[in-house]
Amino acid sequence: MRVFHDISEVRLSEAYSCVAIGNFDGVHLGHQALVLRAIRASREVGYAPFVMTFSPHPAEILRPGTVTRCLTTISEKLLRLERLGLENVLVQRFSFELSQLSASEFFSRYLVGLKARRIHVGNDFRFGHDRQGDTEVLRTLGQKNGVTVEIQSEVTLHGERISSTQIRDHIKQGRIPEANTLLGYPFFVSGLVVKGDQRGRQLGFPTANLAVAEPKLLPPHGVYAGRVHWKGRVLPSVLNIGVRPTFGGSPKPIVEVHLLRFQEELYGESLRLELVKQLRPERKFASKDELVNQIRQDVQIASEMVP
């Protein structure tokens, strides 16, 4: 998959493109339906399939100081898009200057710039200064420029609207199975394994500490059953997210994972940790022995839950 970071970098061998536009945080089932439809449409007419998305989140530019916790970092979003079979992505840097463009200016600079002849968006799509452009404005601009605009209707599952906002709420509340259902895949965190204080090893349960890229959304502090993806292997695991209150606490959350029946060294390796279910909230134990006994129970439950 080719990734471009500015419209000026884009060079297409095809005459025209078919573009799906959106923030696509999480690349959930609704996003997947939109992108897959755009890919199918592009193949029917011989256009280049394209996704246009943005970084950083617009709120961080429009409301300085805002930190938007995302379901997927940019690299994670690109991984999910590539798995859909997408060939081209424009990750356009969102800037104050871009936010000031009118809907017509945005269309001319970016969609004409991408040689779009088909555009696919969700029914809540907004664009242009102060979000003045909606799907009807997009249709009108498309008609004037010979561009077909397809609006995807709302996607639901079991009567529930699928949205990044709803999934983020599930994650914030620790409702991992519900989030996974709407995502269409297990929610995951990824990053490099870094050196920790060896606390897990001292307790008899060595852990890999993960450096998670900002601004990743993390679930509530606690212990989770999960899976680790590493070099083509899928390994059951127990994941801890928290500040280690039993040992005095840490200034910021630590993400660490104990891989079941695994002894290899992982420092410097890149891991993807899929979350299956929260086992318990984080809490302070009265002693090290009490904590070790609880970890043994966590490992037993996780081994039964994630074979």
Catalytic residues: 256
Phi-psi group of 131: left, alpha or beta (phi > 0 → left; psi -120 to 50 → alpha; rest → beta): left
CA 36 to chain centre: 17
Alpha helices in the chain (DSSP H): 29-45, 58-62, 74-83, 96-99, 103-106, 135-144, 164-172, 176-183, 199-203, 288-305
Amino acid in the structure at residue 149: V
* DSSP string for 8-47: GG---SSS-EEEEES--TT--HHHHHHHHHHHHHHHHHTP
Mapping DSSP to helix (H, G, I), strand (E, B) and coil, where does residue 72 land? coil
Phi, psi of 194 (to 5 degrees): -120, 165
* DSSP string for 95-110: -HHHHTS-HHHHIIII
Helix axes 176-183, 164-172, angle to 10 degrees: 160
Which residue shows structure tokens 């938007």?
A: 68
CA 192 to chain centre: 17
